[in-house]
Structures are given as C-alpha cells and as structure tokens.
Amino acid sequence: MTQRTRNWLLLAPAGTWFLVMLIIPLSVVLIFSFGERAPAGGVVPAFTFEQYANLPARWTAFKNTMTLAPIGTLSALLIAYPLAYFLAVKVDPKWRTILLVLVIVPFWTSILIRSYAWIFLLGGRGIPALLEWFGIEGVRLINTPFAVLIGIIYGYLPLMVFPIYVSLDKLDKRLLEASSDLGAKPWRTFLQITLPLSIPGIATGCMLVFILLMGEYLIPAMLGGGKVFFVGNALVDLFLQSRNWAYGSAVAVTLVVVMLITVTIYMRLINRLGANRDDVSIM
C-alpha cells in the first residue's frame, strides 16, 4: 500500500461523515430555501427569493441573538478569566484537581434539568422572594432577557474556563519572575506577560462559546418564557409549528452566513493581534 492510498483510507471515515452529515444536509437546506411552503406545511420545489425577501420578519430574533451571544460570551470571559487564573496560578496544586473536577461536575447533569432549577431560582418564590425579605420589592427575573443571560453564562462558563486554564497552566512561570526581577509591578506583569500569553486560550474559549450561543435554543425557551426569541427558537417554530420549511431553510442559511462572516472577522482580528506579537498565534 502506498503512502498515498493509506492517507486516503485514513481520511475516508471523516470524509464520509463530513459529506453525509454536513455537505448533503446543508445542500438540502439551501435547495429548500428557494422553495415554497406546501399547502398543509412542508415544502414544494420552486425557484423564488420570496423567503429571503421575507427575512425582516425575523429581525428581532437575529437582533436578540446578535446582542445576547456577544454579551454572554464577554460576561462568561470576565467571570471565567479570574477563575482560570486562580486555578492555574494561585491555587495550591494539591487542591487543583479537585477544584477542576468541581468545574466539570455540572456537566454530569443535563442542561435541561439545570435550567429547570433556574426556573425555580429566578421565579417569584426564588431570588425575588429573598430580595423582598431584604426590602427590595418588585424584582422580576424569570422570563426576561436577564434570566436568559444568567442561564447562558451559567451553562457555558466551563467551556470558557478550560481553554484559558490550559493556556495559563502552560505559561512559563520563570517569565513572571524575570518580569518581577526587572522591576515590573504585578499589574504590569499581568498586562504585558500573562494576558498576552493567554490570548490563545481566550480566543478558543470565546469562539467555542460564541458559536454555540449563536445556535442556542433551549435556554431562551426555558428561561425566556417563549418571549425572548433567538434565531434557534425561530427555526424550531418554523419547522415544528408553522411547518414552513422553505422559510425556515432561508432563515437557517442566513444564520450560517452571518456566523461565517462574524467568525471570519473574529479570526482576522485575533490573527492580527497575534501577528503583532510573533509569539502568539491561535492556530
């Protein structure tokens, strides 16, 4: 067997998977998006741009996704970074493993169950009742964008913590000593050494969280009371309630395009950041 055949054989499973599970379904969605809704629901083939012309009717869903996904990613980053820093740099190594396990523990239960717990916590008898006890009245949390944001941060935090933890853990501690020996204050050492060296972790974490958030459906559905709509919820609605596959496909294709554009811009930015410091690169 030549090297070439062997390479092809080894690539075959992934290639087949890619073709059957990604290329073909995406092509079907693309074809559907130019079709029309069948009388009882579903799709009839056609060639029309009507579905795309109708996209403004889902503007709010796109707007919600495009605001809450970046805000959620940024909030998760701001909360995850100190935690990851603490785990990688500050904590006594004998506690590290157990603390890392504690970060993963929530993943042992389905996000559905955990969101149900949040419904209770954010509902009238949960946190608002506690606040009332302290004299703060009339706080409403459940079924608001804020509730969805809390659910998002809670659900995605571990995905942000781990990449940052890994890049901080690999950081050469001698650099910190050198910086300190050369007279830099801790804050300056952090800004000039630690933070730049952890950019790959930040970039990976943000990418993971952001891409998943763009397709989020469950958390807005459960903590938003059917009122805080993401594109994911609009899609479920179009396929499972109004049975307008053609329009649903057009919305899906648009989401993919929006995602591709956003991610490309993001990669460019990260790579430029990396190019300025030739020691950092995301890929």
Partner 1 sequence: MTKDSDYISKRKFMEELGRYRKGSITRRHFLNVTGLGAATAVMGAAMPGLRPSPAFAGGNIGDRVVIATWPNYHDPSNFEAFTEATGAHVQVNVFGSNEEMLAKLQAGASGWDVYVPTNYTISTYVDEGLIEPLDTSKLSNYDASAFDARYAEAGSVDGTLYAVPKNWGSTGMAVNTAHNGGKPISSWKEFFDISRDKFSGRAMVHDYQLTTIGSALNYFGYSFNSVDEAELADAEKLLIDVKPHLFAITSDYQPSMRNGDAWLTICWSGDGKQLNTDMPEIHYVLGAEGGEIWSDYYAIPKNAPHKDAAYALINFLMDPTVNTKEVLAHGYPTADARTFALLPDDLKNDPILFPAQELLSPLEFGAAATLTDPNRAELMARFKSA
For CA atoms 259, 264, 269, 274, the dihedral sign is positive
Q: Which of 88, 176, 213, 238 binds partner 1 (CB under 8 A)?
A: 238
Query: Does 225 interact with partner 1 (rule: CB under 8 A)?
Result: yes
54 touches 247 (CB < 8 A): yes
Nearer to partner 1, 157 or 228 (CB): 228
Q: Quickly list DSSP for 74-135.
A: HHHHHHHHHHHHIIIIIS-HHHHHHHHHHHHGGGGS-HHHHHHHHHHHHSTTSHHHHHHHTT
Distance CA 239, CA 233 (A): 10
Residue 272 beta carbon to partner 1: minimum distance, rounded to whole angstroms: 36
Residue 49 three-state SS: coil
Residue 57 beta carbon to partner 1: minimum distance, rounded to whole angstroms: 6
Query: Does 25 interact with partner 1 (rule: CB under 8 A)?
Result: no
Residue 151 beta carbon to partner 1: minimum distance, rounded to whole angstroms: 15
Query: Does 124 interact with partner 1 (rule: CB under 8 A)?
Result: yes
Query: Does 241 interact with partner 1 (rule: CB under 8 A)?
Result: yes
Give the count of beta carbons closer than 10 Å to the beta carbon of residue 111: 16
Nearer to partner 1, 227 or 277 (CB): 227
Residue 225 token pair: 């009371």
Query: Does 42 interact with partner 1 (rule: CB under 8 A)?
Result: yes
Can you give the binding site for partner 1, defined by CB under 8 A?
37, 39-42, 57-58, 60-61, 119, 123-125, 140, 142-143, 225-227, 229, 233-234, 237-244, 247
